C-alpha cells in the first residue's frame, strides 16, 4: 500500500508542466523587454520585483529560518540562474523563440548525465547514444539557421542559448536537491533574491530606470516567474528530476505560438526536425527505472 502522504507522479508532472507554461509566457514578455531596454535591466528589474513578491508570499506562509544546507543550495542555484538567464535572454532577443527553446532541449539529457554523476542515478549506453542523437538535432537546427536571414547576431545568440542550456542542466539537479530541504515559497523567494543581489553589484555602471510604458511588462514577468518557481519547486519535491525534465518539451508549442503572435516569427522546418530529434533522444534516454527517494534525500 502507498503511504498516505504519497502523491501521484502524474500530479507532479502536471504541476511542473503548468510551471513551464508560465515560464514560456514570461519568456515572450522578457524578449520584448530585452529588445526595449537590454538584457541587464530587463533581468534586474524583473528579479527585483520577483524577490519582493516572493518575500511577501514566503512571510505569509510562515517564513521559517533558512537552514545552512538550504542556504548553500539557494546560493548555488541563484548563481547558476543568474548566468543562465543572462545568456538565455540575450540569445532570445536574437533568434526566433521556437528555435531558442528547441536548442535548450539538450538540457534534460544533460541533466540525466549530471544526475548519474551527482545523484547516483543509473545511466548507460542508452544515454550515450541519445547524446549523439541530440547533438545531431542541434546541428540540424544550426544548419537551418545558417540558411536563414536572421542577422549577424543570430549565431552568437544560438551559442549563448546553448551555453545557457548547459547551465540549466546543472540547475535542474540543484533544484532537485534544493526541493528536499526547502519549501516552494522559500525557493521562489531566495532564488530571486540571490539573482537580484548579484545583478545589483553592477547597478552603478549598468542600471537605468525603464520607460513608464515598460513597467507593466516587468511586473507581469515578475509575477509569472514567481508563480512558475513556486509550481516547479513543489513538483520537484514530489518527483525525480529526470522524470520532470520531460515537461520542458511542452514549451516548444508555447514558444511557436507566442513567437508567431507577438513577433511574427515563423517556425523553420529545420527547427521542427531538429527539435523532434532532440526530444526523441531525450525521451529514449529517460526510459529507465526511478531511483529510490531515499537516495536523493541522502544526496541533499
Distance between CA atoms of residues 251 and 165, nearest Å: 14
How far does the chain reach from its first CA to its final CA, in angstroms?
A: 27
Average pLDDT over residues 139-149: 73
Distance between CA atoms of residues 126 and 131, nearest Å: 9
- Count how many Cα atoms sit within 13 Å of the Cα of residue 183 in the half-sphere of its side chain: 14
Question: Most confidently modeled of 43-52, 140-149, 285-294?
Answer: 43-52
Residue 227 has pLDDT above 90, yes or no: no
Q: Taking a C-beta distance cutoff of 8 angstroms, is the pair 162, 105 a contact? A: no
Q: pTM score, two decimals?
A: 0.81
**What pLDDT band is residue 295 in, cutting at 50, 70 and 90?**
very low
Distance between CA atoms of residues 166 and 162, nearest Å: 7
Distance between CA atoms of residues 9 and 101, nearest Å: 25
**What pLDDT band is residue 300 in, cutting at 50, 70 and 90?**
very low
Report residue 237 as a C-alpha cell: 519535491
| Least confident among 7-11, 145-149, 211-215 | 145-149
Q: Taking a C-beta distance cutoff of 8 angstroms, is the pair 100, 88 a contact? A: yes
109 against 86, higher pLDDT:
86
**Residues 63-66: contacts with CB under 8 Å, at least 24 apart:** 64/183, 64/186, 66/182, 66/186, 66/190
- pLDDT of 235-279, one tens digit each? 877 777 667 766 777 888 889 889 999 999 888 888 888 888 888
Residue 298 has pLDDT above 70, yes or no: no
Residue 42 has pLDDT above 90, yes or no: yes
58 against 47, higher pLDDT:
47
Which among 98, 84, 260 is positioned nearest to 161, based on CA atoms? 84
pLDDT at residue 120, as a whole number: 63
Report residue 299 as a C-alpha cell: 544526496
262 against 142, higher pLDDT:
262
User: What proportion of the chain, given as a percentage, has pLDDT over 90?
Assistant: 30
Q: Cα-Cα-Cα-Cα dihedral of 14, 20, 22, 25, to 10°?
A: -140
Distance between CA atoms of residues 77 and 277, nearest Å: 29
125 against 203, higher pLDDT:
203
Provide the sign of the torsion angle of the four alpha carbons 233, 234, 237, 240, taken in this order: negative
**Residue with cell string 529510490:** 292
Q: Provide the residue count of the chain.
A: 300
**What pLDDT band is residue 38 in, cutting at 50, 70 and 90?**
very high
Which among 139, 145, 140, 121 is positioned nearest to 290, based on CA atoms? 121
Residue 210 has pLDDT above 90, yes or no: yes
Distance between CA atoms of residues 187 and 193, nearest Å: 10
pLDDT at residue 60, as a whole number: 82
292 against 173, higher pLDDT:
173
Which among 22, 76, 145, 203 is positioned nearest to 30, based on CA atoms? 22
Distance between CA atoms of residues 35 and 98, nearest Å: 17
What does the DSSP 8-state code read for residue 63?
-
**Residue with cell string 517556425:** 267
Residue 74 has pLDDT above 70, yes or no: yes
| Least confident among 25-39, 173-187, 207-221, 276-290 | 276-290
Average pLDDT over residues 212-235: 89
**What pLDDT band is residue 10 in, cutting at 50, 70 and 90?**
confident
Q: Give, for 12, the enclosing helix (H) or strand (E).
A: helix 9-37
Residue 115 has pLDDT above 70, yes or no: no
Amino acid at each position: 500500500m502507498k503511504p498516505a502522504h504519497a502523491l501521484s507522479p502524474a500530479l507532479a508532472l502536471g504541476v511542473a508542466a503548468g510551471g513551464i507554461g508560465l515560464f514560456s509566457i514570461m519568456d515572450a514578455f522578457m524578449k520584448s523587454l530585452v529588445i526595449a531596454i537590454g538584457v541587464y535591466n530587463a533581468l534586474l528589474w524583473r528579479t527585483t520585483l520577483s524577490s519582493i513578491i516572493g518575500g511577501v508570499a514566503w512571510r505569509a506562509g510562515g517564513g521559517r529560518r533558512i537552514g545552512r544546507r538550504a542556504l548553500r543550495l539557494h546560493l548555488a542555484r541563484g548563481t547558476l540562474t543568474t548566468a543562465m538567464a543572462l545568456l538565455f535572454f540575450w540569445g532570445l532577443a536574437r533568434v526566433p523563440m521556437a528555435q531558442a527553446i528547441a536548442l535548450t532541449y539538450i538540457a534534460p539529457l544533460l541533466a540525466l548525465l549530471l544526475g548519474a554523476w551527482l545523484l547516483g542515478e543509473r545511466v548507460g549506453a542508452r544515454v550515450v547514444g541519445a547524446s549523439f542523437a541530440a547533438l545531431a538535432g542541434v546541428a540540424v537546427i544550426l544548419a537551418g539557421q545558417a540558411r536563414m536571414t536572421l542577422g549577424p547576431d543570430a549565431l552568437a545568440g544560438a551559442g549563448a542559448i546553448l551555453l545557457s542550456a548547459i547551465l540549466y542542466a546543472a540547475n535542474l539537479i540543484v533544484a532537485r536537491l534544493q526541493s528536499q530541504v526547502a519549501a516552494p515559497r522559500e525557493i521562489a523567494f531566495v532564488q530571486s533574491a540571490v539573482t537580484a543581489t548579484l545583478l545589483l553589484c553592477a547597478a552603478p555602471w549598468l542600471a537605468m530606470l525603464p520607460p513608464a510604458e515598460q513597467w507593466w511588462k516587468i511586473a507581469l514577468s515578475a509575477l509569472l516567474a514567481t508563480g512558475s518557481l513556486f509550481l516547479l519547486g513543489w513538483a520537484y519535491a514530489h518527483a525525480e528530476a529526470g522524470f520532470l525534465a520531460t515537461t520542458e518539451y511542452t514549451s516548444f508549442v508555447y514558444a511557436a505560438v507566442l513567437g508567431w503572435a507577438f513577433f511574427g516569427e515563423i517556425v523553420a522546418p529545420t527547427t521542427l526536425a531538429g527539435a523532434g530529434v532532440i526530444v526523441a533522444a531525450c525521451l529514449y534516454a529517460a526510459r529507465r527505472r526511478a531511483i529510490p527517494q531515499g537516495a536523493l534525500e541522502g544526496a541533499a
